A and B are shown apart, each in its own frame.
Chain A
Amino acid sequence: MATTMATASSDTIRVRRTAVRAWVGWFVLPATALLLVFFFYPLVIIIWRSFSDPQVGLSNYTALLNDDVSVRVLARTLYTALIVALCTLLISYPYAYAMTKAGRRARGVMTVLVLLPFWTSLMARNFAWYLLEQRGGLIEQLLAAVGIPGVVLLGSVTGAAVAMVQVMLPYMVLSLYSSMENIDRRLLDAACSLGAPRLTAFRKVYLPLSLPGVLSGFSLVFIMTLGFYITPTLLGSPQQALVSQLIASRVNGLLDFGGGGALGAVLLVITLLVLFTVGRTVRPAAALPQAVDRG
């Protein structure tokens, strides 16, 4: 590749580049068209209705903010998403780290293990959790065996959260891995050779360098958990409803399209805020302030 590039005249390269640039426009067309027609257009309608149904104005939003239940459910949803993202991170970090250290074959096996549930239907996994979490199910039996009887996760927000962590695991592991894979391990050796104990080297060098992966994985899981519908519906309880369940009951029960849209819009704003914050934070330079200062 490099040799052909070197032998080709600069003119040819320029022509090729322009051709590629022209083609790029075509490449993104199908995705753009799909997004415009099936995502942005409905989204605009939903948001418009949240301001215009039943009457034009902010009534849906003021009603939402003055409604104890909506606010409580929103808070519960944010809290649950935060816990789920944290748990997923704690479980995934050592795993992704081990993947970078493993040999080629072991890494292949580990990747497949992460992706295996990913390839399984979400519904199948939800029903599997349903059986595990139900009264007399495996989880209750196991906990009873170690002296904690009577724990039925099914029908609680905890039950839904446990399943969501499992569903989200691949997203987190892969985000972490792709970022950790690019960390130059010689930096750790350098730190050690300068007298840092291994743990300090990890804390001061490796951890900050892996931060972009942590943040992107965390925000991905957090955002996806915010809007999760099917798992909380099946494994959770309306008593501890999450915002997606509340939207469904607004739209289907009350036919309150405006109110449901307002809830959706608030969720969207929260999501965008998270993305924006993460987008500003995730820069290798920002992640490694000391290194930059000293450099």
Chain B
Amino acid sequence: MQRTKLLAIPLVGTVMSLLAACGGSAGTTATPQALTFVSYGAGAYQNGQQQAWVDPFQKQKGVKITIDAPSDNAKLKTMVEAGKVTWDVVDTDPFFAMKYCGKYTDTIDVGDLKPNFPPGTLSDCAVPAAFFGLIFMYNTNTYGTNPPTRLADFFDAKKFPGKRSISGSIPTNGRLEAALLADGVAPDQLYPLDIKRALEVYGRVKPDIAFAQTYGQQQQTMVGNQADLALLPSARAYSVLKAGGTSWKPVWDKVPVTWDALVIPKGSPHKDLAQQFIQFASQPAQAQGFANLSGIGAANTAATGSSTGLMAEVDPFTAERKPKQVLLNADWWAQNIDNVTAAWTNWMSG
């Protein structure tokens, strides 16, 4: 008897979990007034979005927004292919959204906001959410007396020996552009990108590169003095300074500028509301509110405001640093992202 009872517990558990698994596919009857917004997980970036976008939108519309994380293109693809889309608005890279526009991502109507984004950054399926500059920083502990002054110094291991920290992810954040600019390519001659040449420039310092698997890891590397030079997005630079990495100083040379986009997965059950949310988040006040909280560049060009303190130190979007900006070419990237990914992965893991 004793045994029978003991056995019954796991059995019932299994049956119930199986039933639950089957039930899930049949009964996705969410209330219409709910939305799932996907960002990158708790941190300055997502918290800024929550305070500047999610909270006020919930209040204004009386809807419930669930925040999910992390944003993941492979997961988005799987959801759409399986026909079970549970994400409504996703913060991701714009090139993925453009490449798969109509396949994995849906078109978005931004209404009269169209002229409010920098030229070439708005596309049918991707609305800019935040701008980043890829900035070059050095550790004053290492180069206190003889600091680097230009982007080319990052790729000069003779003049500036030391560990170089960059992200190992697909270089959509301007890393290839930075290498070509450092190698003397004029900003207006960048595209089509010479991928091979850019990788050769990185090849000069490859033994000294510490590839970070995530930006969190890169921040950790910098704050913990595990590197001497770094190329990283401006918002992450702000996080480094805020976390106590104040021995890091920026070098103001050319700054490749890229952006993150809001997209709606194809088949989102709440497309209308998702579109309203994106329009709301793109208003000047919301864009600026997000920028002030997280150190990114506001997506809406009509947004006005200025950064202060630590944020200002690494803010590439101030008026006097504006001439240094080099905007990424979204069309080229959308067409070539697979080539770049393959070339980069092969070069890196080889």
B73 contacts A238, C-beta separation under 8 Å: no
A27 contacts B211, C-beta separation under 8 Å: no
**Can you give 12 A-B contacts (C-beta < 8 A)?**
A30-B13, A30-B14, A37-B21, A154-B226, A155-B211, A239-B348, A245-B349, A246-B345, A246-B349, A253-B169, A253-B345, A255-B77
Q: Given the complex, which residues of A lie within 8 Å of B115, measured CB to CB?
A: none
Q: Which partner residue on chain B sits nearest A251 by CB separation?
A: B74
Known: A155-B210, A239-B348, A249-B345. A255 touches B14 (CB 8 A): no
Looking at A27, A135, A240, A253, the one whose CB has the most chain B CB atoms below 10 A away is A253
Q: Which partner residue on chain B sits nearest A254 by CB separation?
A: B341
Tell me if B's interface is mostly helix, strand, loop or mixed: helix
Shortest Cβ-Cβ A-B pairs, 3 listed? A238-B168, A241-B349, A30-B14
Q: Say whether B213 faces chain A, with CB atoms less than 8 Å apart.
A: yes
Q: Given the complex, which residues of A lie within 8 Å of B225, measured CB to CB?
A: 135-136
B211 contacts A34, C-beta separation under 8 Å: no
Contact with A along B74-96 (1 / 0, CB 8 A): 10010000000000000000000
Q: Which of A5-13, A66-74, A105-113, A270-278 contacts B (4 or more CB under 8 A)?
A: A66-74
Instruction: Mark B residues whose CB is within 8 Å of A.
Output: 3, 7, 10-11, 13-14, 18, 21, 72-74, 77, 163, 168-170, 206, 209-211, 213, 224-226, 338, 341-342, 345-346, 348-350
A30 contacts B348, C-beta separation under 8 Å: no
Docked Cα-Cα span, A30 to B6, in Å, equals: 13
Known: A26-B7, A237-B211. A254 touches B349 (CB 8 A): no
Q: Say whether A233 faces chain B, with CB atoms less than 8 Å apart.
A: yes
Q: Say whether A29 faces chain B, with CB atoms less than 8 Å apart.
A: yes
Q: Say whether A234 faces chain B, with CB atoms less than 8 Å apart.
A: yes
Q: Which partner residue on chain B sits nearest A53 by CB separation?
A: B81
Known: A252-B72, A252-B73. A69 touches B345 (CB 8 A): yes
Q: Given the complex, which residues of A lie within 8 Å of B211, measured CB to CB?
A: 155, 237-239
B11 contacts A29, C-beta separation under 8 Å: yes
> CB < 8 Å: which of A29, A37, A245, A252 contacts B74?
A252
> CB < 8 Å: which of B18, B73, B163, B213 contacts A255?
B73
Within 8 A of B (CB), among A28-86: 29-30, 33-34, 37, 67-69, 72-73
Query: Given known contacts A238-B349, A245-B349, A253-B169, what 4 new A-B pairs fall within 8 Å (CB)?
Result: A135-B225, A155-B210, A252-B73, A257-B74
> CB < 8 Å: which of B7, B170, B341, B345 contacts A27?
B7
